[in-house]
Structure 1
């Protein structure tokens, strides 16, 4: 996203003014347009990935008024921005555009929330058929997901673009949004839009694909979606996977009941958001590019929200429940900005696999043979902090390393109970305490001894 960047002077040597002459006055009421984390795994031989990178959050700025010479054009001011006139500085046109486009986007937001598709499309160039089709698809997807908040903000001054004599303006927009729950902590979505002049009125001509932010493109940005909503979850997929939705919703609701127990950072999510991806969507949603062994991942999307993506390829019903418990436990237990300390990978993944096991005895944990093979080969150093697998690791090795995390957490639970183990997890993962300090304070024992006891337990189980 380009923030506050100015364009070069226009072809006459002065700063550009809004094409089409002096613009009209205040935006009228709407009338219809005449024609717009690293890798993660689950048991039963499945391998999962979670992308834990910080989501970009851009703060909205109020619209700009005319600025004195030499003033910072990105500084906020109150009142209406003056209409640009020939000879005005670039900043005057930018400020007017920012305010005008912001008002149009507010109208579009109101149309979305009240179910007015014509109003949603009215900001667009109606001759731009691909854009109108894209907006119709976005509208249908957002309505299906029961959008309850859609609050757009123009986040920086429009940037002038000119090619072959045509002038457009790139306008970055952040949309705070919610689904299903009327009062929730909103999350941001960063969009890059382009606008042109239509008889003195800004008109949307393109929405550029989200690529630069960790959380884009999101499913509702690029795909037609069918959706079902439960008491704790939203599940969505594409029309060709529609038949899986009832099972996905049922299993997701059951998994959410387990994951809610592990909301160690505070309250559980208002809704768990789960997207089921066929192969084209898997390669596109949130940037794609996951390792071959990946069956699912979670990604932070801002506002302390995470979204879960499941890989439809080879995802059989027999393993769906474990996979969902694993992933939803990550959503419930990770801090809003994600977690990237590889030395604590075993703890983060071990807790998720502990939840996925759903109380089954250790003897029924599916990756024991893989752990046995890894330990026998001497491929693991015996240090929990050095357990995270390489992205290029074979699937069996990844499974084994998840198993090491599970067995270590299971030993802590067996020794100290679930409540104290969760308190230890919170101190390390949420509060960012060292394992040494957290162990001494929460578990009442030196970490060096507990670490060795966990390792001895792992070797004993598979020995």
Structure 2
């Protein structure tokens, strides 16, 4: 980032900006002039943050963001003002914030911000607040001071959490990364960022959804699920309340599952059904455990014993977080057993090749059928029959 460090205009600038005229001193509108001056102060603010100069940062406005961010290893931080509204000595600015976490983000993460500013007596704009824009998700530092713990393959960022707790997450993530690489290969970053907010409400704020959407969900991975697969950075976001209810094996399974999503992101596209992306992540997570199928898939086992095997593979709708929890569990378990069956019958390398082949298709229709034929030499109908028989044999 090229920080603009030129001195602020003197009282002449202040006079120009405070003028009631719509035209500034040099033919520039007051709105345009305010937007330019706000951009200057945000450039100085970003330079001070990256330079760890708290005094210079404080001259530009509130110090709270600096205090909350001082523990985060930032490689870049830039604002681009996209709009400004002036009312006397106050202004509201919309800006696009782009930042990178050093050593983890290959490309900037971008988020929309809304800032309020006031004009001081000496004609300088001063930032009073810097918040998420309307309909934009919170960032972790919006929720308080961020603590950072770095592992061998991981960075854990948390608010309202003891450092020892964050170190526990780092140990789990450090075990997850090589486990995922052993199954999927090493053509990914092999590093993961884990966000641990204070509460379920904090998790929901980071994801832009109501807390009820994630109640009982231990963690999720951000990114373009079902999208282009070119998300610049994924984050594993933990629900500390649900996560605390898990046993030791369950905690590791969750972190390994979410780390798998980070690894497979480039090959996960709109063509990839959720039974495959979620089932594969569970397959990797359970791969090195000794959990019996009936223990790893209790809801589906209960359904099979009570009423028979499902007629079809889980649909994307079955994976909705707002669904009946038992239905959601059966969807995950059914996808896991489909991937487990492929690994058992065709081999682990074929499972990986199948996943990549599905994601390489240009659209959802026909993606699975084509990959089944090309990689596994079977058809959707035969595969579904094989899966139903496998589920019955494993859980019946």
Task: Quickly name the TM-score band, shorter chain normalised.
Answer: 0.7 to 0.9
Residue of structure 1 in register with 2:109 after alignment: 187
Does 1:448 find its partner at 2:381?
A: yes
Residue of structure 2 in register with 1:197 after alignment: 119
User: Are 1:27 and 1:100, in contact at CA under 8 Å, matched by a contact in 2?
Assistant: no
CA shift in 2, pair 1:303/1:427, >3 Å? same
Does 1:296 find its partner at 2:222?
A: no
Residue of 389, 411, 420 corresponding to 2:350: 420
* Residues 40-63 of structure 1: per-residue CA shift (max 9 Å, x gap): xxxxxxxxxxxxxxxxxxxxxxxx
CA shift in 2, pair 1:245/1:448, >3 Å? same
Aligned to 2:60, the other structure's residue is in SS state coil
For residues 100 and 310 of structure 1, the distance between their equivalents in structure 2, rounded to whole angstroms, comes to 39
For residues 236 and 379 of structure 1, the distance between their equivalents in structure 2, rounded to whole angstroms, comes to 44
* Residues 338-387 of structure 1: per-residue CA shift (max 9 Å, x gap): 7677x811111100100110333562563333212123444874211437
CA shift in 2, pair 1:158/1:180, >3 Å? same
Superposed displacement of residue 115, structure 1 = 1.0
Aligned to 1:227, the other structure's residue is in SS state strand
Residue of structure 2 in register with 1:403 after alignment: 333
CA shift in 2, pair 1:93/1:443, >3 Å? farther
For residues 392 and 86 of structure 1, the distance between their equivalents in structure 2, rounded to whole angstroms, comes to 52
Which of structures 1 and 2 has the larger relative contact order (alpha carbons within 8 angstroms, sep 6+)?
A: 1
1:349-364 equivalences under 5 Å are 349-360=278-289, 363=292
Residue of structure 2 in register with 1:306 after alignment: 234
Residue of 193, 197, 218 corresponding to 2:139: 218
Residue of 419, 427, 436 corresponding to 2:369: 436
Tell me how large the CA RMSD over aligned residues is: 3.1
- TM-score, length of structure 1 as denominator length: 0.70
| Unmatched runs of 5 consecutive residues or more in structure 1 | 1-25, 31-82, 125-131
For residues 390 and 28 of structure 1, the distance between their equivalents in structure 2, rounded to whole angstroms, comes to 52
For residues 145 and 380 of structure 1, the distance between their equivalents in structure 2, rounded to whole angstroms, comes to 49
* Residues 229-266 of structure 1: per-residue CA shift (max 9 Å, x gap): 123211122344333122111111111222345668x9
Superposed displacement of residue 219, structure 1 = 1.0
Give 1 or 2: higher helix fraction.
2
For residues 147 and 320 of structure 1, the distance between their equivalents in structure 2, rounded to whole angstroms, comes to 28
For residues 179 and 92 of structure 2, the distance between their equivalents in structure 1, rounded to whole angstroms, comes to 45
Residue of structure 2 in register with 1:206 after alignment: 129
Greater alpha carbon shift after TM alignment, 423-432 vs 142-151: 423-432
For residues 183 and 45 of structure 2, the distance between their equivalents in structure 1, rounded to whole angstroms, comes to 39
User: Are 1:232 and 1:253, in contact at CA under 8 Å, matched by a contact in 2?
Assistant: yes
Residue of structure 1 in register with 2:260 after alignment: 329
| Unmatched runs of 5 consecutive residues or more in structure 2 | 9-15, 225-229
1:76-95 equivalences under 5 Å are 87-89=21-23, 92-95=29-32
Residue of structure 2 in register with 1:76 after alignment: none
CA shift in 2, pair 1:451/1:330, >3 Å? same
Residue of structure 2 in register with 1:16 after alignment: none
Residue of structure 2 in register with 1:457 after alignment: 390
Residue of structure 2 in register with 1:251 after alignment: 172
Superposed displacement of residue 96, structure 1 = 2.3
User: Are 2:156 and 2:170, in contact at CA under 8 Å, matched by a contact in 1?
Assistant: yes
